[in-house]
Amino acid sequence: MDPSPQSPEPKRRRVNFDPAKLREPRTLAIGAFVGGLIVGLVVLGWWLFPVSWTDAGAEQLRADLRSDYLRAAIDSYTLNPDDNLARARLDALGAAVDETMLAVASNPGSQSVESIAHFQQLLGGGALTGGGETGGVATPAAAEGEGSLFPTGNLLLTLCGITLVLGLALGAIYVARSRAGGDGRKTGALKAGGYARQAADAEAASGADEPPLSQWMTTYQMGDDLFDDSFSIDSPAGDFMGECGVGIAETIGVGSPKRVTAFEIWLFDKNDIQTVTRVVMSSHVFRDDSSREKLSAKGEPVLANPGAETVLETATLQMVARVVDMEYGEGPLPENSFFERATFELAIWAK
């Protein structure tokens, strides 16, 4: 009996190393970039010549830290109303004082509107002069780094800098060529669905004869625990007039995601000293006297219903806020106590 035929032994693939591949533009670009990054950032930037900063002024702080600084100054002024000291603290913010004051006035937080408005009067009284009778404090300039990445006359550092620049240039060329052959389709991030804020059609609101100056729509979806949309109000000429927005005012229950039971709608006018606020409440909260009274401290209460409108007015602006659509969530909490979804329309007119 003939033995069964055996399958031939598979051939082993031989991997040949081609030195020419090391000279390909992609390989050179990656190598130059990595080498320049290690030498420039790790060796020079972190080890040999680390940059240190000392005596930085309030103007050089991050935006949120500048707001904290200004809030602390307002609290201090409320307890100790020293105008000269308050103006000196405002001067320390330098060119960022208007932006910081706007951020604090737009979101008062735990501070009263009156204390912010009183402090804001100092700004209108010439807090930016930086001198004169107030004895303005000059904003300290940021200290220069103890070491510089490319000091003049140091050949080694200059060559490292050139290597880094060449590596970045080659990497950019490679990326540009790779993208040139793409099909131009949208990425997954651009295709992603969901509710997003969009410009609404220009139409008269609440019986107004003229179209609104600006108009927006924004949607809250349950799970968006950081929902807080704000919009800049500009004149037809592009001048800044104020801001408005919608955010979470109150939640109910515990756990994640948050169960939102009320929204805060606000309007800030740069020509007014206060921010006008309305609180749109769920049916459960609105009909509960204690809960409604508690939230009324944040603004006038409004019962959430599809099509419900409320008007906010300041010195030079009028806003009509409308609940376009809404849906209550279901769960172990009281009926109609939290929102699954809510869409708001904000329309602005100049008075």
Q: 345 and 215: one domain? A: yes
Establish if 214 belongs to a structural domain.
yes
How many CB atoms within 10 Å of residue 247?
17
| Structure-token pair, residue 69 | 């600084």
Residue 15 included in any domain: no
For residue 123, being part of any structural domain is answered with: yes
Number of domains into which the chain is organized: 3
- Mean pLDDT over each residue of the chain, to the nearest integer: 76
The reply to whether 224 and 337 lie within a common domain is yes
pLDDT mean over 266-290? 94
Q: Are 306 and 335 in the same domain? A: yes
Helix/strand/coil (H, E, C) string of 107-148? CCCCCCHHHHHHHHHHHHCCCCCCCHHHCCCCCCCCCCCCCC
Higher pLDDT, 93 or 243: 243
| pLDDT at 124 > cutoff 90 | no
User: Which tens digits make up the pLDDT trace of 8-49?
Assistant: 555 454 545 455 555 566 777 787 778 777 877 777 666 666
**What was the pLDDT predicted at 55?**
67
The answer to whether the pTM exceeds 0.75 is no
| Same-domain pairing of 166 and 83 | no
**Of residues 342 and 1, which shows the higher confidence score?**
342
pLDDT for res 196: 36
Residue 195: pLDDT over 80: no
**Domain housing 74:** 58-134
- Sheet with 240-252: list strands edge to edge: 228-234, 240-252, 259-269, 275-281, 300-303
- Residues 171 and 111 occupy one common structural domain: no
28 against 130, higher pLDDT: 28
What pLDDT, on a 0 to 100 scale, did the predictor assign at position 337? 95
Last residue of one domain, picked from the residues 109, 134, 159: 134
Asked which of 123, 155, 175 is the last residue of a domain, the reply is 175
73 and 29 in one domain? no
Considering the domain architecture, whether residues 268 and 126 belong to the same structural domain is answered as: no
Residues 153 and 221 in one domain: no
Q: In terms of pLDDT, which residue wins out, 117 or 11? A: 117
Give per-residue pLDDT as tens, 230-253.
Answer: 999 999 999 999 999 999 999 999
Higher pLDDT, 179 or 92: 92
Is residue 341 predicted with pLDDT exceeding 90? yes
Is the domain of 169 the same as that of 248? no
Q: What is the DSSP letter of 337?
A: -
Q: For residue 138, what pLDDT band results from cuts at 50, 70 and 90? A: very low
Residue 194 lies in a domain: no
Is residue 219 domain-shared with residue 322, that is, in the same domain?
Answer: yes
Q: What is the CA radius of gyration of the chain?
A: 30
- Share of residues in the chain with pLDDT > 90 (%): 37
Does the residue 292 lie in any domain? yes
pLDDT exceeds 50 at position 259: yes
**CA 260 to CA 255: how far, in whole Å?**
12
Query: Residue 59 above 70 pLDDT?
Result: yes
One domain, residues 241 and 285: yes
Whether the CB-CB separation of 220 and 263 falls below 8 Å is answered with yes
Q: What CA–CA distance (Å, rounded) separates 54 from 260?
A: 44
Residue 125 counted as domain residue = yes
Task: Give the model confidence (pLDDT) of 155-188 as tens digits.
Answer: 566 766 777 787 777 777 766 665 554 443 333 3
**How confident is the model over 253-274, as a mean pLDDT?**
93
Shared domain check, 219 and 242: yes
Residue 330 lies in a domain: yes
